[in-house]
Amino acid sequence: MPQKMIMVVEDNPDDEELTLRALRQAKIANEIVVTRDGNEALEFVFGRGQYEGRNLERMPAVILLDLKLPKLSGLEVLKQLRSDPRTKLIPVVVLTSSSEDEDMLRSYQSGANSYVRKPVEFGSFANAVSQLGLYWLLLNETPPRA
């Protein structure tokens, strides 16, 4: 069985690097795909645009999704993922700087599995990311394929 894949949707290169570093530190060696805006994220999962012809059998095991993204916002990406039978069941963790209740509520309403705030302090941030990775990759049982 091929390794589970993580997709990170993150436009800020600093946050991207810190996220990847945190995952690395947590000894998570799974394949990590990074997309840098909402549109690219959707193109990847549905094999469109620059990802035309991608093997669609291989779907990310978990998507770490920032809310504030260029082109398509995180919430819109989330809604499109949830409305397609191929991606409806992929766990999506909203990873954002926002501490607004409104954002959290709308994320859960749109079908997010988790909502995690990015702390300013790197230690806490790394901790949060590694725990997420561990949880969704190792402990969580993915739903059987339809």
Partner 1 sequence: MRRLLATLSVRQKLLAVVLLTTLTALLVAIAVMVGFDLRNYRQSLISDMTTQADLLGRTTAPALTFDDPRVAQENLELLHYRPQIRAAAIYSARGKIFASYSGRDGREFPKLPEADGTRIEGNELVLFKRIVDSREILGTVYLRADYELYDRLVGYLGIAAIVAAIAMLVAYVLSRQLQHIVTSPLLAIADVAREVTEKRAFSLRAPKLSKDEIGMLAESFNTMLAEIERATRDLQASNEVLGREIAEHNRAEQEILRLNAELEQRVKERTAQLEFTNGELEAFCYSVSHDLRAPLRAIDGFSQALLEDFPKDVPEEAQRYLSRIRSSTQRMGQLIEDLLNLSRVSRGGLERRDADISELARQVVTELQGREPQRKVDISIWDGMRANADSRLLRAALENLIGNAWKFSSKTDQPRIEIGSLSDDGRAVFYVRDNGAGFDMAYANKLFGAFQRLHSGNEYQGTGIGLATVQRIVQRHGGRIWADAKPGKGAAFYFTLESDGVERASPDMAEAQA
Q: Please report whether residue 108 would count as binding partner 1 according to CB under 8 A.
A: no
Q: Which of 1, 29, 120, 139 binds partner 1 (CB under 8 A)?
A: 120
Q: Please report whether residue 96 would count as binding partner 1 according to CB under 8 A.
A: yes
Name the segment binding partner 1 (CB under 8 A); options: 45-53, 78-86, 105-113, 122-130: 122-130
**CA 51 to CA 43: how far, in whole Å?**
6
The minimum distance between CB 82 and partner 1, in angstroms, equals: 23
Name the segment binding partner 1 (CB under 8 A); options: 39-47, 52-60, 92-100, 130-138: 92-100
The pair of structure tokens assigned to 7 is: 């997709």
Name the segment binding partner 1 (CB under 8 A); options: 32-40, 42-50, 118-126, 138-146: 118-126
Interface residue list for partner 1 (CB under 8 A): 12, 14-15, 18, 21, 67-68, 96-100, 118-123, 125
